[in-house]
Structure 1
Amino acid sequence: MQTNSSSIALGSSVLTILCDDILQPPLHSEHGFSLLVEKAGEPTVLFDTGTTDVFIKNSSILGKDLTKVEYIVISHGHYDHAGGLKYLTSLGKKIKVYLRKDAFLPKHSGERFTGIDWEAIKDAFEFLIAKDKLIKITNSIYAFGPAWIRNKFEEPDPNFQIIKHNERVRDFFEEELNLVIDEDDGIILITGCAHRGVINIVQDALELFNKKIKLLIGGFHLYKSSEEKIDKVVSILKSLPIEQIIPLHCSGQLVKKKLSGQIV
Structure 2
Amino acid sequence: MFQSSLTKITVLCDDRLSSPLFSEHGFSVLIEWEGKALLFDTGASDIFIRNANILGKDLSKVESIVISHGHYDHSEGLKHLLPFNKKYKVILREEAFFPKYSNDRFTGINWENLKEFLDFVIVKDEVMEIFDNVFVFGPVPFRNNFEEPDPYFYVLKGDKKERDFFEEELNLVINEGDGIILVTGCAHRGIVNIVEYAIKKFNKRIKILMGGFHLYKSTFPKIEKVINSLQKFDIENIIPYHCTGEEAIKILNKR
Q: TM-score, normalised by structure 1?
A: 0.95
Partner of 1:161: 154
Q: What is residue 33 of structure 2 aligned with on the other side?
A: 39
2:109 is aligned with 1:116: yes
Q: Which letter maps to 1:14?
A: K
Any idea what SS the aligned residue of 2:131 has? Answer: coil
- Contiguous gaps of at least 5 residues in structure 2: none
CA distance in 2, matches of 1:50, 1:158: 23
Aligned to 2:204: 211
Matched, 1:9 2:3: yes
- Aligned partner letter, 2:187: A
The AA in structure 1 aligned to 2:18 is: Q
- Residue 254 of structure 1 is matched in structure 2 by 247
Amino acid at match of 1:36: L
Q: Which amino acid aligns with 2:11?
A: I
Matches for 1:79-228 after TM superposition, within 5 Å: 79-228=72-221
User: In 2, distance between residues paired with 1:40 and 1:20?
Assistant: 25
Write the distance in 1 (CA, Å) between the matches of 2:138 and 2:198: 9
**1: CA distance between counterparts of 2:254 and 2:33?**
27
Give the deviation of 1:165 after TM superposition: 2.6
The residue number in structure 1 matching 2:16 is 22
Cα deviation for residue 261 of structure 1 reads 4.3
Summarize deviations over 1:133-173 as a string: whole Å, max 9, x none. Answer: 11111111111100111123111011100011320000000
Residues 203-238 of structure 1: CA deviation (Å, up to 9, x unaligned): 110011000000100000000000100001000001
2:83 partner SS: helix
Paired with 2:209 and 2:49, the residues of 1 have a C-alpha distance of: 24
Distance 2:213 2:220 in 1: 14
Letter in 1 for 2:60: T
- Alignment length (residue pairs): 255
Which portions of structure 1, spanning 4 or more consecutive aligned residues, are displaced by more than 2 angstroms? none
**Seq. identity, %:** 56
The CA RMSD measured in Å over matched residues stands at: 0.8
Q: Which amino acid letter does the alignment assign opposite residue 22 of structure 1?
A: R
TM-score normalised by the chain length of structure 2? 0.98
SS of residue in 2 equivalent to 1:72:
strand
Shift of 1:33: 0.1
In structure 1, runs of 5+ residues without a counterpart are: 1-6
